[in-house]
Structures are given as C-alpha cells and as structure tokens.
C-alpha cells in the first residue's frame, strides 16, 4: 500500500529559484503562533477538556467539507451520522470506511491536503486512505484519542494556538468562556464572537420567539425597535466584557441601509405581529444591520461580513438532516452600493472596523480592494469556505494586493469546526503567502527583506490589527 508522506516543499512554487526564496520566507513564519480570529470550535471542548470519542464523530460527521463530497458521490448523509442520525460503533467505522473508499474524490481539494496533514503530523499515520487501510487508520486514530496527548487542551498547546475565537448566539451565557477565564490551570485565550443573524431576519417564522428570548436574556422589553436596539447593545456589551472582539453577520445580501425612523418602527411593529412580507423583512433587516454598525462604531467591536450564500439549497436534505451539511451554495454579491450608506456614516469613524469576506471572487479587484484602499475602517477578508484553498488563496493575493497592498487584508481565518485541521489550514495559507511573496521577490517587485517582514506581518500584524487583538 502506498506510504503517506508530507513533502517539506509542498505547495511551494515549482520554479527552483522561486522555491528557494519561498522556503526562506516560509521558514520565518512556519512556527509562529496561530491566531484564529474566526471559527466554530465548540468552547465546551476546551472548557471541559473531555477526550474525543472516536474518529468519525471528531473528523467526519461534523465536517461538511467532507460530507458534501461524499454526498455528491452518492453516499447517504445518514450513513455518515449527519443531522442527528446516531451511528453505532460499527456504523462509525463504516462511515469512516466510506470516506477512505472515496478518498480519490478529494484529489485536488484542500480536504485531501488537510486530512493527510492531520494523519501524518497529528497522528503519525503513514498510509494513504483507501478501503484497504480504513480500519488501520480508524484504529490508530481511536487509540491516539484515548491518550492524554490528544485531549483538547493538549492539542491546543501542541498546535501553538495563541487565540481562538468561537461563534456564539447573542443569548448565550458564555459559560464555557467564563469558566476558561476563571480556570487558573488554563493559559490559552478563547474569545466569543457575537453572531446575531437569526435576530435580524424579521420575516422568518422563528424571529418573534428569538426576539422575545433576547429581551428576556437582556432584561429589556423588545416590544419596540428601540427595545431591540437596547437589548442588542446590552448583549454586545456582555460579549465584549467576556473577551469578544468582533461580531459576525451572514445574510443573503450585503446591504446595510437605514430606514426613516417612522418606517423602521412601522416595519418592526408589523414584524412583531408576524405580518411583514419577505421584502419588508429584508428592508428591516438592512436597517437592523445599520443599527449594528452604529453600535460597532460606539463599542468598537469589529464587524465581519460573510454574505451571499443561499442556505439549504436542497429542501429535502434540510428537512432530513438540518442545516450546515454542505448544501449551502454561494451567489453573486455586490458591495460598492450595498455598503455605501454604512460607510458614508461610519467609514471614517475612529472606532469602526469592518472585515469583508466573499466567496464571489469577482469583487476582490473590483470592489473590496478599492474600498479597503480608501477607507481606514475596511479590511479585505481572507478567502473563505469553498475558496479557502491553495489556488484560490493565490488568486486572492493577486487580485487584492495591487490595489490594497498587504496591510489592508485581514490575515488568515480558518472558520472551521474541524479543530484538528486548524494547524494544516494555517500552514496552507502560510505556504501560499510565502510562495506569493517569493514570486514578488523573484521578479524584483520586493526585496528579500521587504518580503520577510511582510510574511511575518501577514501572520501576526494583520489579524491583530483587523480584529483588534
């Protein structure tokens, strides 16, 4: 069976001269701490430090990057344990075998790169996944997971994580974050992120119940728009007090537009009566986003936008398996006009900061880099989700840098639930950025000294500045 090894030059440019330069740049950043200002690791893992149970529950079932491709190969999501379909011990082993059997399907995707990195670097496994090796790999991972070295806190240490942001509901009591903060044996930094999407979609059936709860948790009557704003401000403040540095927002478009106060109140009242139309719901949502921006300019929480994905594209799958199973499909997005009212109001406010993410790569050179090259508040976010991958990372730097330079970019975010893939993801980005900088040195756009300083800036300075860390 073919042996699995990781080449030290993987992802570096093929041209020998450029590769030599890239090696030097990569060597300067390879072992720097990991700053992860946006992601989805459950804080409870680190708070409770309970051992992971098995390879499938840890690596496969919750990772929609993996499960979606198996679904495209004709595998049933139920057989992967997705959507609460509980698997037996045998079922988990079978699910992992499905992954290994279809391993070929991941060729050319970052999932292959990440998982192979995890197998070798985290677990010391040296065989390529396949039907023949599935059990061996499963057993090896299972054995490792039962040892103290593979408990969450040990891995956090081993991965060299300096700060890890989670993503949290505004009504969350942040108990795990507080518990970590009060634990004298814990020396890491896990910060919450305020993610209020559901509370900003007044045309959805769940909205009224959510807003009631928001009022209860904040101790504010949310019967009026003013109440909603006060409740939000209170929860943002609670998050800030517990370490949050940013709020995250993902809606179907990027528009942020205030309504006339009277109209806003009217729509809010209608929404509380559950009588808004979808268009009115959108209009009110864009106003509520404007309120979030206004609060951000006051409380200083960095605002991050991840817009324009059609969630749950396939209804029957959503009904059977719930959300976040790989059936969210991106759409074209527009920022220049959509953000204009917000940037008109807050774009040069001293405390306001905005990080703009996109899966629609067309906006990088056309809209995001020009915006970030003018507004001191705007940062171009790193490639996200489907495009957090080597070639897409290279396209991002090529599309953004000539207009916005390096200083106006966010630094890498891993945005992942897959805790064990975090080092491989950051490593991928460090390798690609080293390669990009090496090309600028090779064609004499940067000196080696400039490139070395920039390589470190991208890993350290950019995320600290963009996320106020």
Our finding on whether 401 is near its own copies (CB under 8 A) is yes
Which one of 120, 227, 361, 468 is in contact with its own copies (CB under 8 A)? 361
Piece of 27-35, 235-243, 275-283, 341-349 that binds its own copies (CB under 8 A) = 341-349
352 vs 214, 297, 346, 364, CA distance in Å? Answer: 25, 4, 7, 21
Our finding on whether 365 is near its own copies (CB under 8 A) is yes
**Least distance to its own copies from the beta carbon of 116, Å?**
10
Piece of 31-39, 135-143, 227-235, 306-314 that binds its own copies (CB under 8 A) = 306-314
Three-state DSSP at 16 gives helix
Asked if 332 and 319 count as a contact pair (C-beta separation under 8 A), the reply is no
**Least distance to its own copies from the beta carbon of 55, Å?**
22
CB nearer to its own copies: give 55 or 110: 110
Closest Cα to residue 92, out of 73, 79, 104? 79
Degrees (nearest 5) of the Cα angle 323, 325, 326? 120
CB neighbour list of residue 435: distance below 8 Å, 6 or more residues apart: 11, 12, 13, 18, 22, 394
The site map against its own copies for 74-93 (x = CB under 8 A) is x-------------------
Under rule CB under 8 A, which residues in 29-68 are in contact with its own copies? 68
Our finding on whether 146 is near its own copies (CB under 8 A) is no
Which one of 38, 40, 71, 286 is in contact with its own copies (CB under 8 A)? 71
Our finding on whether 307 is near its own copies (CB under 8 A) is no
**Least distance to its own copies from the beta carbon of 395, Å?**
8
DSSP bridge pairs for 164: 36, 190
Chain-centroid distance of CA 124 in Å reads 27
The site map against its own copies for 189-218 (x = CB under 8 A) is ------------------------------
Under rule CB under 8 A, which residues in 428-447 are in contact with its own copies? 439-440, 442-447
Cα separation, 417 vs 412, whole angstroms? 15
- Positive or negative, the CA dihedral 50, 53, 55, 56 is negative
Our finding on whether 18 is near its own copies (CB under 8 A) is yes
**Least distance to its own copies from the beta carbon of 353, Å?**
12
Our finding on whether 227 is near its own copies (CB under 8 A) is no
Which one of 37, 39, 55, 110 is in contact with its own copies (CB under 8 A)? 110
Piece of 39-47, 80-88, 288-296, 335-343 that binds its own copies (CB under 8 A) = 335-343
Our finding on whether 2 is near its own copies (CB under 8 A) is yes
Q: How many residues bind its own copies (CB under 8 A)?
A: 94
Our finding on whether 337 is near its own copies (CB under 8 A) is yes
Closest Cα to residue 448, out of 20, 10, 13? 20
Our finding on whether 290 is near its own copies (CB under 8 A) is no
Piece of 36-44, 80-88, 90-98, 403-411 that binds its own copies (CB under 8 A) = 403-411
Cα separation, 113 vs 121, whole angstroms? 12
Piece of 166-174, 189-197, 401-409, 416-424 that binds its own copies (CB under 8 A) = 401-409
Q: What are all long-range contacts of 217-224, with beta carbons under 8 Å and residues at least 24 apart?
A: 217/170, 217/171, 223/272, 224/265, 224/268, 224/269
Under rule CB under 8 A, which residues in 371-390 are in contact with its own copies? 371-376, 378, 386-387, 389-390
Q: For the residues of 40-71, what is the DSSP string, one character each?
A: ---HHHHHH-PPP--HIIIIITT-HHHHHHHH
For residue 246, report the phi and psi dihedrals to the nearest 5 degrees. -150, 160
CB nearer to its own copies: give 51 or 376: 376
Total Cβ atoms within 10 A of residue 370: 17
The site map against its own copies for 233-272 (x = CB under 8 A) is ----------------------------------------
Asked if 302 and 354 count as a contact pair (C-beta separation under 8 A), the reply is yes
**Least distance to its own copies from the beta carbon of 394, Å?**
9
Our finding on whether 322 is near its own copies (CB under 8 A) is no
Cα separation, 458 vs 464, whole angstroms? 10
Cα separation, 402 vs 83, whole angstroms? 43
């Amino acid at each position: 069976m073919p042996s699995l090894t990781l080449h030290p030059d993987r992802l570096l440019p093929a041209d020998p001269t450029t590769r030599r330069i890239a090696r030097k740049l990569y060597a300067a950043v390879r072992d720097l701490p990991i700053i992860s200002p946006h992601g989805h690791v459950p804080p409870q893992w680190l708070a409770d430090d309970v051992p992971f149970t098995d390879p499938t529950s840890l690596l496969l079932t919750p990772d929609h990057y993996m499960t979606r491709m198996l679904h495209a190969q004709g595998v049933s999501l139920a057989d992967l344990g997705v959507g609460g379909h509980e698997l037996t011990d045998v079922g988990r082993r079978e699910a992992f075998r499905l992954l290994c059997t279809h391993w070929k399907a991941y060729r050319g995707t970052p999932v292959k790169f990440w998982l192979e990195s995890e197998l070798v670097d985290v677990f010391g496994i040296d065989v390529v996944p396949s039907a023949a090796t599935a059990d061996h790999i499963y057993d090896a991972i299972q054995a490792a997971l039962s040892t103290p070295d593979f408990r969450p806190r040990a891995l956090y240490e081993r991965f060299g994580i300096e700060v890890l942001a989670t993503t949290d509901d505004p009504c969350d009591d942040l108990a795990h974050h507080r518990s970590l903060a009060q634990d004298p044996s814990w020396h890491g930094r896990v910060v919450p992120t305020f993610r209020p999407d559901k509370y900003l979609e007044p045309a959805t059936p769940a909205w009224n119940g959510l807003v009631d709860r928001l009022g209860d948790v904040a101790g504010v009557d949310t019967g009026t728009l003013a109440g909603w704003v006060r409740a939000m401000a209170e929860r943002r403040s609670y998050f800030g007090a517990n370490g949050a540095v940013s709020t995250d927002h993902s809606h179907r478009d990027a528009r942020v537009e205030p309504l006339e106060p009277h109209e806003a109140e009217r729509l809010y009242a209608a929404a509380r009566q559950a009588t808004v139309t979808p268009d009115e719901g959108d209009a009110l949502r864009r106003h509520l986003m404007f309120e979030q921006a206004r609060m951000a300019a006051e409380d200083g929480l960095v605002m991050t936008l991840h817009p324009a994905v059609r969630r749950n594209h396939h209804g029957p799958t959503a009904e059977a398996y719930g959300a976040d199973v790989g059936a969210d499909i991106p759409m074209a997005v527009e920022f220049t006009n959509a953000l204009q009212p917000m940037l008109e109001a807050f774009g040069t406010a001293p405390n306001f900061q905005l990080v703009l993410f996109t899966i629609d790569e067309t906006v990088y050179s056309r809209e995001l880099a020009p915006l970030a090259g003018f507004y001191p508040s705007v940062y171009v976010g790193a490639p996200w989700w489907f495009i957090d991958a080597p070639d897409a990372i290279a396209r991002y730097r090529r599309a953004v840098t000539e207009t916005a330079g390096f200083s106006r970019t966010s630094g890498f975010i891993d945005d992942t639930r897959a805790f064990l893939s975090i080092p491989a993801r950051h490593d991928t980005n460090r390798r690609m950025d080293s390669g990009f900088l090496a090309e600028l040195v090779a064609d004499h756009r940067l000196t080696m000294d400039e490139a070395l300083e920039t390589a470190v800036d991208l890993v350290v300075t950019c995320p600290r500045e963009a996320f106020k860390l």
